[in-house]
Amino acid sequence: MAPKVDRFVSPGKGNGLRATANIRRGELVYSAEPQAACVSNKWAKNVCHHCFSRHETLLRCSQCKMARYCNITCQKLAWPVHKSECKCLRSVLPRIPTDSVRLAARIVFALAIEMTQYKLGSSKGNGEELYTLEEHESHLSSLCEQKREGLSQLASMLQLYLQEEVSALDQVVSSLPPSCQDPMSLMAKVTCNCFTISDAELQEIGVGLYPSLSLLNHDCGPNCVMVFEGTKLHLRAIKDIELGDELTISYIDSMALTDDRRKQLEEQYHFTCCCQRCDSRDMDALMASGEEATCCLLKDALPRLDGLKAESNWPELLDLCKELLSKAGSSFPAENLSKLKVTDVALDACIQLGLWEEALEFGLKTLPVYRCYFPDPHPVHGIQLMRVGKLQHFLEHITDALDTFKQAYEILKVTHGDAHPLTSELKMKMEECRCELNQ
């Protein structure tokens, strides 16, 4: 464990992490590899199941035909854990268990390997973890009937999935603390505590368990953010933090109304947020601004946009966005969250359709709004700037592109740090712009 953090009891919140030194904005606070991680089913064909990098074509495991890898090296490195997984996957074919079930199974496989290494005396031990699976909350007792039912289905799926390896795993499972032996409780712990792993473009490509970082509590205006590099998780400070201060992240999309954020946190994480932003209903009025009938029109259309996006029906999606935006009219406030969402979706659709000029127009409209809603550096804002900068660069608006890239860099050097591959890519783009301007 890095010396900058330690575990403590946060008043009213239970376990938490706090700073054991003054930490400056932009500093790396903590890095962790997952105890277990898996690529989500949705991305299974395009993301390496070992290093989590994205490729058009990948090598396929000849046995389960599910796991895919960049190359033989990744496949070999993945084999110790995949060996058990591969057997289990084959046993339930053509069904593929859900992401959370596959992750829970991978945790069991990882524990089995740890135990063998421990017996052989080659284990480094688990002493550096601040938090163990046993201590993870399951919230089982406070779940509503419907959620319990869902969880019990996942637990049965986990049992069925692990059946093939049961004899090999028996010893492991029986040596786990009772709260981790019961499939229902294990599934509950996994679903409450797993992290979504996203790639550089913030696509959600997998799930993982990072025990020590499960201690981090939520704040709608947090002092830290998490970014990934493959499966490695980096926790970075986006504000100056003083010795003794609690470290916080946002569990959810912070661009939402207070009531919506609170509802999501209650349903998904079982607590009521009492952070400063929630108490003061910070920016709610601005996020919901605009004439009411139009607000409703835009908000009610969002599920349809999501549906068309899921179908990759870009032409229809773009038509619908344009229709909505023209109905709202240009004087309708850009700060309205639904309007922002529609504009963002229109940007995606234009990029998919190769309509670069239009894409840039939509992108530019979103930037002042992002700036307003992200007063602290945030990956979402940095990446939006980078997308717009790339469009400007492609359309040969070089001076504008360089300016946008510079703004993106001010954010990414804090949220990602100078050594992150995304920051390197951005610096290269800036260099290209400078060369082109000098010519």
Question: Where on the chain is the footprint of Zn ion (CB under 5 A)?
Answer: 48, 50-51, 61, 63-64, 67, 70, 74, 86, 220, 273, 275, 278
* CB closer to Zn ion, 211 vs 222: 222
316 contacts 345 by C-beta, under 8 angstroms: no
Q: How far is the CB of 277 from Zn ion (least distance, A)?
A: 5
Q: Which long-range contacts (CB under 8 A, 24 or more apart) does 313-316 make?
A: 314/349, 314/352, 314/353, 315/349, 315/353
Q: If DSSP codes are grouped into helix, strand and coil, which group holds residue 52?
A: coil
Q: How far is the CB of 53 from Zn ion (least distance, A)?
A: 5
* CB closer to Zn ion, 239 vs 413: 239
* CB closer to Zn ion, 26 vs 230: 230
Q: How far is the CB of 107 from Zn ion (least distance, A)?
A: 18
Q: How far is the CB of 161 from Zn ion (least distance, A)?
A: 14
* CB closer to Zn ion, 275 vs 301: 275
The number of helix segments (H) and strand segments (E) in the chain equals: 16, 12
Exposure string for 353-372, b = 16+ CB within 10 A, e = fewer = eebeebbbebbbbbbebbee
Q: Report the candidate in 47, 115, 38 with the shortest Cα–Cα distance to residue 82.
A: 38
Q: How far is the CB of 89 from Zn ion (least distance, A)?
A: 6
Q: How far is the CB of 46 from Zn ion (least distance, A)?
A: 12
Q: If DSSP codes are grouped into helix, strand and coil, which group holds residue 383?
A: helix
Give the DSSP letter string of 217-255.
Answer: EE-SS-SEEEEEETTEEEEEESS-B-TTPBPEE-SS-SS
* CB closer to Zn ion, 86 vs 408: 86
Tokens of residue 225, six digits: 């953010």
Q: How far is the CB of 325 from Zn ion (least distance, A)?
A: 30
Q: How many residues does the chain have?
A: 439
* CB closer to Zn ion, 247 vs 351: 247
Other Cβ atoms closer than 10 A to 429: 20
* CB closer to Zn ion, 373 vs 409: 373
